[in-house]
């Protein structure tokens, strides 16, 4: 994988969304065809032989690559969304954020116990949202769960990987 190409095209936005944060903006990777191809091929290579039946993309930056990856893996795509965004019956998981509580939702019929899941999002920082999605999909009792991120932030004070299940295989394309 050409990590250098990805790093060169990753935009860092200082002081967003609050002062002191160096926001890692993956939208610049999605709009660059070479970067999109690199990410798509690398994540496919990691999971092509794992028997994935569904990819769960986290709102919203987990949708573009997650959906493409699902098609490449001949798997279904499931959206993990904020409350009020999905029609029909949903199940939800409440979780703590830095400044309060939030919820993540999925359609109640999205996953079965026969599924092998790949949970995908753009960035691992504190890990709270992914942990909530992981806890939510565990309720479906799937055969297996894998987790993937484009970027993992390894900045002091961020220990996102530490709150995730240590028995789950977690992969990232870039560690920053």
What are the residue numbers of the active site?
61, 98
CB 42 within 8 A of CB 68: no
Q: Is the C-alpha dihedral spanning 167, 168, 169, 174 positive or negative?
A: negative
Beta-strand runs (E) in the chain:
11-14, 22-25, 54-58, 76-80, 90-97, 100-107, 116-124, 144-152, 170-175
């Amino acid at each position: 994988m050409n990590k250098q190409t990805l790093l060169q095209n990753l935009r860092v936005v200082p002081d967003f969304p609050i002062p002191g944060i160096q926001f890692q903006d993956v939208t610049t990777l999605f709009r660059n065809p070479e970067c999109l191809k690199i990410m798509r091929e690398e994540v496919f290579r990691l999971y092509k032989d794992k028997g994935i039946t569904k990819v769960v993309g986290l709102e919203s930056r987990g949708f573009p690559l997650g959906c493409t990856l699902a098609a490449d893996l001949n798997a279904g795509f499931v959206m993990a969304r904020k409350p009020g965004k999905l029609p029909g019956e949903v199940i939800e998981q409440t979780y703590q954020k830095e400044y309060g509580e939030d919820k993540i939702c999925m359609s109640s019929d999205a996953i079965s116990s026969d599924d092998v899941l790949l949970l995908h999002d753009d960035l691992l920082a504190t890990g709270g949202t992914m942990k909530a999605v992981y806890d939510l999909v565990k309720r479906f009792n799937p055969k297996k769960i894998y987790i993937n991120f484009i970027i993992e932030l390894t900045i002091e004070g961020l220990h996102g990987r530490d709150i995730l299940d240590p028995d789950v295989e977690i992969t990232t394309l870039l560690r920053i």
